[in-house]
Amino acid sequence: MATCPLGHTSTDEEFCEVCGREIGGAPVSATADAPPATEAALPPAGTTCQSCGAALAGRFCEECGHDSLAPVPERVPVAVSSDVPPVPADRMPEEATWTATVTADRAYYGSVMEADGPDASGITFPPYCPDRHFPLAGKEISIGRSSRSRGILPDIDLLGPPEDPGVSHLHALLLAQADGTWSIVDLDSANGTLVNDEQKPLRPNVPRPLADGDRVYIGAWTRITLRHN
C-alpha cells in the first residue's frame, strides 16, 4: 500500500485513489487543504463512471479522469450547421481503383511446357492456387519473387506458396499513366512477359499500355489480370 501526502492509503502507486494527489509528494496538512475524502465516501465496487460509463477501480476514472465524488460535467450540445445540404448517395463521387488478380493458368502452363520441351519437365502445375488480389496504388508496382538476402521485396510478391520458379526475382513493373491507366514493363526477365494472346514476349524495358481486363503472363503458369473497379 502507498500513502499519499494527506495520509490516505492507496493501491495505486502513482496517484492516490482517494484524493487524487501524487504519491510521494510532500506531506500536506488536512486542515490547510480541502477536507480529504474518506474511504467510506469512495464508490462501491462495480460502480461505473457517471461521465463516460467506464468501470471504476478507484475515485478517479482511468478512462476520462472524472472525479467520481464530483458532479457530473454538463454536456454542451454541439450545434449542427444546416447551411450545406447532404449530397444524395447516387451523386457521391466514387474513386476509381485498379486491382491486379494473380492466379494459376493451366492453359498457359501447357503452352510453356510445349514450348520448352523436356527442359520444363521439372515444373509441375500447382494442385491448389487461390486467387490473390493486389490493389494498385502509387506510381509504380514491382512484380517478382522476394529475396531478403538480395534486398528484393516486390510489391506483388509471387514467392508463394505456391511458388512459380519461372518468375524472376524482379520480373516486371506496372507504371501508372497520366490518364489513370497502367503500363507493364518487362525488366529483362529470364523467361519474358506476355500480354493477352500475343505470342511474342515484350521487349525489355519498353512500356506496354494495358486496359481493363488485360492479362499478363509470366513464369511457368502465372496470370495477372488487371481490373478497373
Find the CATH number of the domain harbouring 103. Answer: 2.60.200.20
Q: What pLDDT was estimated at residue 50?
A: 74
Q: What pLDDT was estimated at residue 171?
A: 96
Kindly state whether residue 24 falls inside one of the protein's structural domains.
Answer: no
pTM of model > 0.75: no
Whole-number percent of the chain with pLDDT over 90: 44
Kindly state whether residue 47 falls inside one of the protein's structural domains.
Answer: no
- Average pLDDT for residues 184-200, to the nearest whole number? 94
Higher pLDDT, 6 or 223: 223
C-beta of residue 129 within 8 angstroms of C-beta of residue 75: no
Kindly state whether residue 64 falls inside one of the protein's structural domains.
Answer: no
Residue range(s) defining the domain that contains residue 217: 98-228
Q: Number of folded domains in the chain? A: 1
Kindly state whether residue 16 falls inside one of the protein's structural domains.
Answer: no
Choose from 34-43, 111-120, 157-166 the range with maximum mean pLDDT.
Answer: 157-166
* 77 pLDDT above the threshold of 80: no
Mapped onto helix, strand or coil, the DSSP state of residue 130 is coil
Banded model confidence at residue 72, pLDDT cuts 50, 70, 90 = low
